[in-house]
Every structure is written in C-alpha cells, then in structure tokens.
Amino acid sequence: MSSIKSLLRPVAKIRNAALAIALKPRIHSRGMSLATVCEPLDGLGDEEAEIYSMARAFADKEMAPHAQEWDEKEVFPVGVMRQAASLGFGAMYCDPTYGGTGLSRLAASVVFEALSTADPSTAAFISIHNMVAWMISVYGTEEQKTKYLPSLSTMEKFGSYCLTEPNAGSDAASLQTTAKREGNEYYTLNGSKMFISGGGDSDVYLVMCRTGGPGPKGISCVLVEKGTPGLSFGQKERKLGWNSQPTRAIMFDDCRVPVSNLIGTEGQGFNIAMHGLNGGRVNIASCSLGGASAALEQTVDYVKVRKQFSTPIASFQNTQFELAEMAIKVNSSRLMVRTAAKMLDEKHPLAAAWCAQAKVHATDSCYEVCDRALQLHGGYGYIKSTKVQQYLRDLRVHKILEGTNEVMKVIISREILKD
Amino acid sequence: MSHRILVPVKRVIDYAVKIRVAGGKIDTNVKHSMNPFDEIAIEEAVRLKEAKKATEVVTVTVGSTKSQETLRTALAMGADRALHVEVPESAEVQPLEVAKILKAIVAKESPSIVLLGKQAIDDDAGQTGQMLAGLLDWPQATFASKVELNDSALTVTREIDGGLETVKTTLPAILTADLRLNQPRYATLPNIMKAKKKTIEKLSPGDLGVDVTPRIKVLEVSEPPKRQAGKTVGSVDELIDKLKNEAGVI
C-alpha cells in the first residue's frame, strides 16, 4: 500500500502544480478587447462606419429589448420595421427617384450586420423585403416602379419573394406554378408556393411562375397583390427560429392577375430571381455575421464573469482557444461577405460565384460560432433566458434558404471547372 | 430674423464602455462617440431650424483628426457645416482653453446662440458654456430642459436642485442642454449620405490666436476602490463606532 502511495506522491505533486498554473488567473484586467481584433468598423470608409453606428444604435435601442418577445410570441414587428424604413432601411439599394436610399451593397450589408446583432430574424425579413423592392426597381416599368416602390420603401406595404414550391426547392427551375395568359388582359395562376417569408402578411408577392415551356426559360416573374381573388394562404408554420417572421404556403386557384403585373419580360423570370438572390445571399450572410458577432461579444462577457475552480473560465486555455477560433471565423466571414458585396457593386463578372462562396462560408462558420458560444455558456446557454440559443436557432436556417449551401457549392465548382 | 446657432461637440469615450486605468492613464483604445449631451444640443438646434426659428446650424469641435467622425455625425443629424479646430492627439485641451477657442469662433461666425451640452461625460467639468458666457459677457441659461426662441428672446426652463426655473434672456446668449431637453434623432441614411457633401473647415488654435497649454495639472488617475463586502452590525452603538472610527464619516 505504502509503495503505491509513494509512487503516486510525485504524480500528485506534478498534478497539483499543473493545476495551480492552469487555474491561476491569467486574464489581464484589460484583456484583448473584442473591439481590437473583431471590430465591425474595421476596413469601412467614413460613410459606411457612420451607417453601421447608426444602424447598431437603432438595433440596440429599438430591436434588442424586444427580440426575445418577438421570438417567443411570434410577433411580426411591423411598427419597428416601419420605423427602420423611415430611416431609409426599406429600399436601401433602390433608386432614390422612387423612395429608395441608393446605398451600395456594401453599405446595405453593413446595415444588416448591425441589425442582426439585435435580431437576425427581423433583419433577415427586412433583407428579403429589400430584395423584392430591388427586383422591381431594376426590372420594373415606370408605372410599376411608381405604383409599388414608394409604399415598399416606407414599408407601408411589405414584399415577399415566391420561388420555392412543395416539389421545387433546390431544383427551382422545375417549378410548376403556371400562369396562363388569357388574351392580352390577364394571367391565370394555378399552383402553390412553399415556405414564403412574410406569406399572408405581405401585400406584394413576386411570384416566379411558368408562362412558357419547361426549364428556366419558361419562367416569368409576376407581381400579385394580396387580396387578389384566388390567392390564399396556408397555416402559419411553426419554426425552430425566424419566429418574428410569419412563414406560410401560398395557393393560387385560378388567380387572375393583370398582364401589366409582369415584371420584366416573359421568360426572364428565372434570371430576375437569380439576380435577386445574389444580393440576397450577401444579405443573409450579413445577418449571420451580426448574430455570430453578438453571440461572441456576449460569450466574452460571460467567460470573464463565470467562475469555476475559483477562477474565471476565461483563464482556461480551452476557453481562450475557442474564443480565438470564433474570432477567426467571424473575421474571415466578414471579409468574404464584404468582398462579395463590393464585387456586386462593381458588377464584377465573378460576383455571383463570390456571393455563393461568401454565403457558404459565413452561414456555416457563423452557425458554428453560435454553437460554440452556447457551449461556452454551459447550462445557461441552453435556457431561453440567455440570448445565445436564439442566435443559434435563427442562424440555422441561413444554411438552407436563398439557395442551400450545397447548391452554392454547385455554383462555385461550376465556375472552377469552366474551360 | 435670421439666427445662426453654433453647436460645439466633443468626441468622448462611449458611455457604454467600461473605463479601465492602465499605468496611471485611462485606456483610450476603446469605442468613442459624440458626447450624449452634445447630441441633445445638436438635436435642439436642428429642431429650431426645422421650425424655421433658426437659419443655420454650425457645428465645431476641438480635437484630433479622429474628431472628424463626430463632426460627420453632427452633419448627418442636420447641422449645415462644420469647423474642425485640429490639435494633436496627445494634446489635452481643458474647458477654459476650449472656451477661448469658442470665443474666437464666435467672433468669426457671429451666431445668435451658442448651444452646448451641459457637460462632457469624460471630465464632467460642466464649465465650458459658463466660461464662454463670462469671456463674451453674454447671458447664459444652463441645464435647459425646454427652450423657446421668439424673434430676439429666449425663454428657457432650467432644471435646478429645487425644481424648475424659467429664465428669459435676450440674444445673443449661451445655452447648455440637459438630459430631458429632447430625444436625439437617429440620422437617416439619406442624411448620412448628404453629410459627405457638407463642408468641414479646418483651423488651428494658432489661427485663432489661442494658447491651449493646460493650466490644470492632473496629478493622479486611479480606479475607484473595489467594492468591499458589507458587514452586519449588532447595535446602534456598534454602527456609530464604525462610522466614526472606521469609515471616518462622522
């Protein structure tokens, strides 16, 4: 017995010494503030920095206090979104002639990043609404722009984007909602759309439907207003996250829409939809960025305060390495998202492939950041009184919508393998 | 009546930042923003312009190159143009020196009103407005929670210890803004974009004939003592003993 004890004594000594070093508080009172290594304002020009600061102030004050309630009670925060619109967030990168703000895609990305620190779900809906307004502002006629853009830019009316169907998700070009032209007056729409953000609450629906033959070239983009006879909505879906936005199926049952509601030309619908999505991908990726950076900020605060073994858990190397990895993920995502945004602004020929890359990287990495943030909060991370779980739930769907990350890889690899 | 309002603004450490002292100095490598009371001052000036009681809002700051961002915020909120009295980043410009600079600016710009925040949240001096009034020999209405401008008179409600005091002054005058004067607006995106085109004129204290050498020397900067755990006392006598002999407050 004693021989074993004497064997173990040195081991115990080493172990105690190691523990003493490991557990000694190693946090400088200043520490490496998140601000210096993971700063959203870095690399931004004066104007974009001012825009971020303003959007962040709005998010902190008007959205953050309510985000949890909106999630739990599934509230669609119309009032706050209209307030955001009054500051110019309703049609950010649309022509000012019709009420848009005329911002660059980079500036818009920065806005969505700021708003998502408070509530990625609401920020994402604002981004979808912006995408719809943009499609009308680029492909619409004078009459259409005059008729719809002003009220979209103030968010007096909300816009929804309708591409996905029960049987057409990634294979979007196989969509089956038909629009039969009757003379020169009406299209008659028949079919259904699935998972429509804002469905049932929005007033303006951009519907990708089949006016011609099979495949992408037979698809057109038609604007349908709420209240049109033959337009009905399914039940509001109960979702894991994105609960501040209603999501519904939409049914068209001999729904007659004036031919003057065609956006662009017949057969152009798929192109319009895809162009909308390029920017949409940067926006969704920006929403992931904001959520992840907020989750990281909150985690840094938590680990400095939470003590175990008589010391803040921030002094454990595992915690430190996790934080470093999270910062790297947020920073690399941010760089890719902003690069893609700039490429859209410059109309770079590779912009679409870059938007896809940025979307995959940011949505995947930022989700991981939220997951690690939750883990670092321990049990507290799992309960709803901590916000970290909401970021995780909200960000999860960003890997799926606006083109799954798998489809993004199709787009990217296609570009790589081009001759 | 055309009234020009001059609104001095200051770039300070953001109110939400946890202040840290390192090596006897405050760590300034943190987020900065416009002094909150100055935001209130800008908001009030812009509202007066929107109500057509004033014709121009001019903002001015004394600071390093970084202070330019504060001027841009003021311009985005509705100020028409800005003046930047540039000093090196290491320079410490104290209230009296700022007041002297502002006096020179007043001579240059001829405003009817100089509207300042009541105090800056970094030094909490609360002196600049009052000193400026003294140097200019202008009337002052400080800690304003309500301002009414009618032609050539100001009626100002002031928050004082005993409650509210209403004063009336002729113009030109100095006003300092208190917390409840208004709720500053968010700059709208279009206004942030327009601010780019507004002018920022650069000046130096030398141009204005002002010596900004500090007259007050800071001897020590330290964090407040860490909060100690409380103690339960057994009797009033024990309490008095502790207050007298330990805390030294009676």
**pLDDT for the residue A18:** 45
What would the pLDDT profile of B103-132 be if each residue is shown by its tens digit? 999 999 999 999 999 999 999 999 999 999
What would the pLDDT profile of B211-242 be if each residue is shown by its tens digit? 999 999 999 998 888 888 888 999 999 999 99
Helical H runs in A92-141? 105-118, 120-139
Contact B189 A103 (CB under 8 A): yes
Residues in chain B: 250
**pLDDT for the residue B226:** 85
**pLDDT for the residue B223:** 87
- Checking if the pLDDT of B42 tops 80, the result is yes
**pLDDT for the residue A14:** 52
Q: Please identify every stretch of chain A with a pLDDT value under 70, giving residue numbers as ranges.
A: 1-36
**pLDDT for the residue A33:** 44
The structure's pTM equals: 0.88
CA B246/CA B250 separation, integer angstroms: 10
CB A337 within 8 Å of CB A289: yes
Query: Of A221, A248, A222, which Cα lies nearest the Cα of A235?
Result: A248
- Checking if the pLDDT of B160 tops 80, the result is yes
**pLDDT for the residue A8:** 52
Closest-CA residue of B relative to A60 is: B16
B250 Cβ contact list (under 8 Å, min separation 6)? B240, B243, B244
What would the pLDDT profile of B3-18 be if each residue is shown by its tens digit? 999 999 999 999 888 8
Structure tokens at B184: 């500053």
What would the pLDDT profile of B144-156 be if each residue is shown by its tens digit? 999 999 878 999 9
CA A108/CA B111 separation, integer angstroms: 38
DSSP class of residue B121?
T
A80-to-A66, A288, B31, B199 alpha-carbon distances in Å: 10, 21, 27, 33
CA B46/CA B50 separation, integer angstroms: 6
DSSP-based three-state secondary structure for B176: strand
Residue tagged active-site, from A346, A402, A406, A415: A402
Query: Of A261, A263, A149, A244, which Cα lies nearest the Cα of A197?
Result: A244
Rg over CA atoms, chain A: 24
Structure tokens at B138: 């202008």
Q: Which residues of A touch B73 (CB under 8 A)?
A: 50, 53
Q: How buried is A360 (Cβ within 10 angstroms: 0-12 exposed, 13-18 middle, 19+ buried)?
A: buried
**pLDDT for the residue A36:** 66
Q: Which residues of A touch B31 (CB under 8 A)?
A: 35
| A402 is an active site residue | yes
Bigger pLDDT: B43 vs B1: B43
Q: Which residues of A touch B22 (CB under 8 A)?
A: 29-30
CB B157 within 8 Å of CB B216: no
- Checking if the pLDDT of B48 tops 90, the result is yes
Percentage of chain B modeled with pLDDT above 70: 100
DSSP-based three-state secondary structure for A233: strand
Interface test with A, best of B26, B69, B84, B186 (most A CBs within 10 A): B186
B4-to-A116, A204, B57 alpha-carbon distances in Å: 40, 46, 6
CA A4/CA A352 separation, integer angstroms: 68
